[in-house]
Structure 1
Amino acid sequence: MATQDISSLGDIKLLVNTFYAKVQDDDLIGPIFNQKMLGRWPEHLEKMYRFWQTILLEEHTYSGSPFPPHKQLPIDQAHFDRWMEIFTSTVDFLFVGKLAEEAKVRAANMAYMFNYKIEYFRNAEKQ
Structure 2
Amino acid sequence: MSESTQKHAVTAETSNEVPTLFEWMGGREVLSLLMKTFYAKVEKDELLAPLFGRMIADHPEHVAMWMEEVLGGAPRYTDERGGFKTMIRKHRGRNIQPEQRDRWMKLMLETADEINLPRDPEFRSAFVGYLEWGSRRAERNSKPDAEPSKRETVPKWGWGEAKPGTP
TM range (shorter): 0.7 to 0.9
Quick check: which one's helix share is greater?
1
Rounded Cα–Cα distance in structure 1 between residues aligned with 2:143 and 2:63: 24
Corresponding position of 1:51: 66
RMSD: 2.3
The one of 7, 27, 51 aligned to 1:32: 51
* Identity over aligned pairs, percent: 22
Once the two structures are TM-superposed, the CA of residue 120 in structure 1 deviates from its matched residue by 7.2
Give the TM-score, by structure 2 length.
Answer: 0.61
Range moving further from structure 2, 17-26 or 93-102: 93-102
Structure 1 unaligned regions, length at least 5 = none
Indicate if the aligned counterparts of 1:9 and 1:53 stay in contact, CA closer than 8 A: yes
Once the two structures are TM-superposed, the CA of residue 52 in structure 1 deviates from its matched residue by 1.4
Q: Which amino acid aligns with 1:72?
A: G
Corresponding position of 1:91: 112
Give the TM-score, by structure 1 length.
Answer: 0.78
- Paired residues for 1:1-127 under 5 Å: 3-4=3-4, 6-34=25-53, 36-37=54-55, 40-42=56-58, 44-63=59-78, 64-65=83-84, 66-94=87-115, 95-96=117-118, 97=120, 98-119=122-143, 121=145
Rounded Cα–Cα distance in structure 1 between residues aligned with 2:38 and 2:92: 22
Q: Which amino acid aligns with 2:96?
A: I
Counterpart of 1:62 in 2: which secondary structure? helix
- Would you say how many aligned residue pairs link Structure 1 and Structure 2? 118
Q: Aligned in 2, Cα 1:100/1:82: closer, same or farther, shift over 3 Å?
A: same
Rounded Cα–Cα distance in structure 1 between residues aligned with 2:72 and 2:146: 34
Q: Aligned in 2, Cα 1:8/1:47: closer, same or farther, shift over 3 Å?
A: same
Q: Which has the higher contact order (CA 8 A, sep 6+)?
A: 1
Indicate if the aligned counterparts of 1:54 and 1:60 stay in contact, CA closer than 8 A: yes
Once the two structures are TM-superposed, the CA of residue 102 in structure 1 deviates from its matched residue by 2.8
Q: Which amino acid aligns with 1:9?
A: R
Counterpart of 1:13 in 2: which secondary structure? helix
Counterpart of 1:67 in 2: which secondary structure? helix
Q: Aligned in 2, Cα 1:25/1:53: closer, same or farther, shift over 3 Å?
A: same
CA-to-partner distance for each residue in 1:39-61, whole Å, 9 max, x for gaps?
Answer: x222x222112111112242221
| Higher Rg of the two aligned structures | 2
